[in-house]
Amino acid sequence: MSTIPVNEPLLGERELEYVSECVRTGWVSSAGRFIQEFEQKWAAYCGRKYGVAVCNGTAALQVAVAALDLKPGDEIIMPTFTIVSCALAVIYHGCVPVLVDSDPRTWCMDVYQVKAKITSKTGAIMPVHIYGHPVDMEPLLDLADEYGLAVIEDGAEAHGSEILFGRNTNSPEWRRCGSFGTVSCFSFYANKLITTGEGGMVLTDDSRLAEKTRNLRNLCFIPGRRFHHEEMGFNFRMTNMQAALGLAQVERIEEIVARKRWLDQEYSRRLKKIPGLQLQQEEPWSSRVCWMYGLVLNPETDMDARLLSQELKRRGIETRPFFLGMHEQPVFHRRGLFLEERYPVAEHLARNGLYLPSGLTLTEDQLVRVCDAVQEVLS
């Protein structure tokens, strides 16, 4: 019985054609036609004016934070339940991460906990759309407006997800994740809907921020004065070969999104019949595109995620644990951060949650095998 992997990228003829063009023509570095085309197409898909491609999603967060006018010591409010990249980007810039817990239904940051964390030092909010479900951006953006805060949106896991914006007005409209931040970040790692192997992008509508992000990604060279630098930058450039992969996929994003929606519906339909599981609840204002299909064990199962994962592994099914909250990370405790802080929802998710095989190559037979195995282990 072959193992069902958590993810496998689905690469096709177009990817091969574009990457071959890079190799044939010698345009393999960060110069070449695919970079700009990829930037423009992804920005347009997300409803933004500018895209700046970088070498991974962590780098995207780093340049996004660095591009904003934040001072050392400024606080950035973010979810505890996220990847370490978010907190690292804040700390590398000399800012201070301030955490909030998750909403127990969507597992995204509880936006109603944000206001209580705003102080005179708050400079930005960093919402992270978890596993494809959007953060409730409307009240969050109202808060950002009210307090004059920048928004660093992390859409790494939410390619194509949408929010019904203006839902209390007469003319609500669906808007894509990636369209909400002062700066919005994406990852194109191999398990993301659009992948460049490793890669990322920052989107914005602000030409000054786009220019600054572009400079930061490229060592802050000054046009016309080669090797003269007035700011500290990074080499976070994406290669033309990576962008070639990305462009080929953006060109078939609708197909990719449709496949993920199918997977989401099938998993939900089958798993909701199994007692003891909590699934990510989709809010009526959300149209999520599942990045990874997660589940959380309820206390009555007498099992935690680690045990379930081992049992599924024995049945040839790979899983991954959920994030461990930032407030439980030894690396941050050693820096004196988050000591004594407790976030019960994130702690429950971290111990009892895992995600199932969710890649674009997952077949219906495999999906059924996964659901049957979950049922067998829990019965």
Q: Which is nearer to ligand PLP, 4 or 156 (CB)?
A: 156
* DSSP letters spanning 76-123: EEEESSS-HHHHHHHHHTT-EEEEE-B-TTT-SB-GGGTGGG--TTEE
Select the residue interacting with ligand PLP from 15, 74, 153, 154 (CB under 6 A): 154
Site residues for ligand PLP, 197-236, by CB under 6 A, read 200
Is residue 128 part of the contact set for ligand PLP (CB under 6 A)?
A: yes
**In contact, 162 and 188? CB cutoff 8 Å:** no
When CB distances to ligand PLP are compared, the closest residue is 57
Structure tokens at 75: 């606080």
Is residue 127 part of the contact set for ligand PLP (CB under 6 A)?
A: no
**In the bound complex, what is the minimum distance in angstroms from residue 56's beta carbon to ligand PLP?**
4
Tell me how far apart the 2 most distant CA atoms of the chain are, in Å. Answer: 69
Backbone angles phi, psi at 122, to 5 degrees: -65, 130
**In the bound complex, what is the minimum distance in angstroms from residue 187's beta carbon to ligand PLP?**
3
Is residue 85 part of the contact set for ligand PLP (CB under 6 A)?
A: yes
R_g over Cα of the chain: 21
**Which region among 12-20, 152-160, 261-269, 313-321 touches ligand PLP (by CB under 6 A)?**
152-160
Q: Which is nearer to ligand PLP, 82 or 280 (CB)?
A: 82
Type of residue numbered 242: Q
Q: Choose among 289, 283, 279: nearest CA to 155.
A: 289
Type of residue numbered 276: G
E strand map for the chain: 50-54, 75-79, 96-100, 122-125, 150-154, 162-165, 173-176, 183-187, 200-204, 277-279, 286-287, 293-297, 320-321, 353-356
Select the residue interacting with ligand PLP from 32, 51, 57, 357 (CB under 6 A): 57
Type of residue numbered 338: F
**In the bound complex, what is the minimum distance in angstroms from residue 161's beta carbon to ligand PLP?**
12
**In the bound complex, what is the minimum distance in angstroms from residue 375's beta carbon to ligand PLP?**
28
**Which region among 41-49, 78-86, 210-218, 344-352 touches ligand PLP (by CB under 6 A)?**
78-86
Q: Choose among 193, 346, 197: nearest CA to 264.
A: 193
Select the residue interacting with ligand PLP from 6, 15, 34, 58 (CB under 6 A): 58
Q: Which is nearer to ligand PLP, 62 or 352 (CB)?
A: 62
Is residue 264 part of the contact set for ligand PLP (CB under 6 A)?
A: no
**Which region among 8-16, 154-162, 233-241, 259-267 touches ligand PLP (by CB under 6 A)?**
154-162
> Quick check: helix, strand or coil at residue 314?
helix
**Which region among 10-18, 55-63, 231-239, 305-313 touches ligand PLP (by CB under 6 A)?**
55-63
**125-143 core/surface letters (b: 16 or more CB in 10 A; e: else):** bbbbbbbbbbbbbbebbeb
Q: Which is nearer to ligand PLP, 128 or 247 (CB)?
A: 128
**Which region among 53-61, 105-113, 163-171, 346-354 touches ligand PLP (by CB under 6 A)?**
53-61
Select the residue interacting with ligand PLP from 18, 34, 189, 355 (CB under 6 A): 189
Residue 130 to residue 124: CA distance in whole angstroms? 19
Q: Which is nearer to ligand PLP, 82 or 352 (CB)?
A: 82
What is the SS3 assignment for 240-302? HHHHHHHHHHHCCHHHHHHHHHHHHHHHHHHHCCCCCEEECCCCCCEECCCCCEEEEECHHHC
* Residues paired with residue 293 on neighbouring β-strands, in sequence order: 356
**In the bound complex, what is the minimum distance in angstroms from residue 191's beta carbon to ligand PLP?**
7
Is residue 78 part of the contact set for ligand PLP (CB under 6 A)?
A: no
Is residue 56 part of the contact set for ligand PLP (CB under 6 A)?
A: yes
Positions in the binding site for ligand PLP (CB under 6 A): 56-58, 82-83, 85, 128, 154, 156-157, 187, 189, 200
